[in-house]
Amino acid sequence: MKDFHLPLNQTQRVRFETALHKLQVLTPTMVLAAAVTIADTIPINHEDSVLRGHWTLDQKGKLVSTLCGVVEWVDKLVHVRTLQARYRPEIRDTLIGRVIKIGPESWRLEINSKQDAVMMFSSTNFPDGIQKRTAVDELTARSIIEENDVVYAEICAFNHDGSPELQPMGPKCGKLERGQLLMVPPYLVK
């Protein structure tokens, strides 16, 4: 960053300083050499053929980071893993979500992604063991799972709008009654 002077507004400056602080606190000392900020030069051996990956830029023969993160190598591909990424859901991921809304046919859950997840009433076994699909479901759904409840489920599909659809799979899935929810930044999860 010594060579570049970036014009940052107040919001960008605060985000930049926060990312720098997280980078210094959260990265182990061994990985600190691989930690980069915006416009840092990524050390590479020019004799090897290196492929430029995500969040890198070739500037005057030097490989430069375009955001704060950690440099990662996959064979000859070099990219920067961001510190501020949101969770990107995939099918068969098991996760914990918080119910934020009960709709006419489903619960809507916050999963720390760009879109909320949906869990349909029809995919849930109600206490009597029957999968219900009637108008009474909305009334009974609130007595089973209500707003701010925490649910453990699996992503089974994606809806037409791209939002993940959850399904409580197996005996351990469903509403969590006791415990403490610990939220972890997505970049710490492998």
- Ordered by start, the domain boundaries in the chain are 10-82, 94-176
Per-residue tens of pLDDT for the chain, all 190 residues: 444 556 778 887 788 788 777 766 655 544 445 788 888 888 887 777 888 888 899 888 889 998 888 888 888 888 888 776 777 888 988 888 899 998 878 889 999 888 899 998 877 765 555 555 566 666 677 777 888 889 889 999 999 998 999 988 666 677 888 877 777 766 666 5
CB-based contact 122:134 (threshold 8 Å): no
pLDDT at 108: 93
Provide the sign of the torsion angle of the four alpha carbons 22, 26, 31, 32, taken in this order.
Answer: positive
Q: Which helix (H) or strand (E) holds 81?
A: strand 77-82
CB count within 10 Å of CB 58 equals 10
Which H helix or E strand runs over 175?
A: strand 174-176
The structure's pTM equals: 0.57
Fold of 10-82: OB fold (Dihydrolipoamide Acetyltransferase, E2P) (2.40.50)
16-46: burial string, b at 16+ Cβ within 10 Å, e else: beebbebbeeebeeeeeebbbebbbebebee
Same fold, 10-82 and 94-176: yes
pLDDT of residue 176: 84
Q: What's the pLDDT score for residue 4?
A: 52
Q: What is the pLDDT of residue 5?
A: 59
97, 68, 65, 110: which is closest to 85 by C-alpha? 68
CATH of domain 94-176: 2.40.50.140
